[in-house]
Structure 1
């Protein structure tokens, strides 16, 4: 189970086109320390929270009865990329113009 989480962390880092050494600037973890966590680690919860924050992600507990639905939703978004791209565009436009659609 922990291996699945470590795999997810690695996949998210690669999805963001980040190198292990980039994590130092994002969360203050050296490349060596991050490598150890990603490949065979048993990180503490606070370390996992820092890594999630650095990867622009959330740590969640998902009830077992919803795991299949969540995986299906995530797979659909990864394949199409449309929803993810739309959300990124929406967030970027709000940063550029926070008053958008309010006036």
Structure 2
């Protein structure tokens, strides 16, 4: 599968319409349509497209390609550690676990600033 097909497939998988992409990445509608139809984007444009599709551009050595493709195919949806969002359970720390809680907040204000 070529790069243009991968871009289109990723956009469709994210349920992003073609006319929404230019606003997400900051290029003209015509430029994006040309990119998806004919290809050959500049590297900086390709980087913008990848960011707009919540993706990364990377070079994969040919000898590792089958391993990477197998890993992606068998992926269970886990996010690599460096890209994980904070664990919700970690955000619910009690006062005894967080002695600094409330020290810098105004006592008269609630959590919404009222």
TM-score bracket relative to the smaller structure = 0.7 to 0.9
Structure 1's unaligned 5+ residue stretches are 78-82
Deviation above 4 Å: which 4+ runs of structure 1?
none
- Tell me what 1:4 maps to: 2
Q: TM-score, normalized by length of structure 1?
A: 0.73
Q: TM-score, normalized by length of structure 2?
A: 0.67
Structure 2's unaligned 5+ residue stretches are 98-114
From 88, 91, 94, the counterpart of 1:100? 91
Q: Deviations over 1:13-39 (max 9, x none)?
A: 011000111112211123322121112
Residue 51 in 1 paired to residue 46 in 2? no
| C-alpha RMSD of matched pairs (Å) | 2.5
From the CA coordinates, give the structure whose radius of gyration is larger: 2
Q: Aligned residues, how many?
A: 90
- Tell me what 1:80 maps to: none
The structure with the largest helix share of the pair is 1
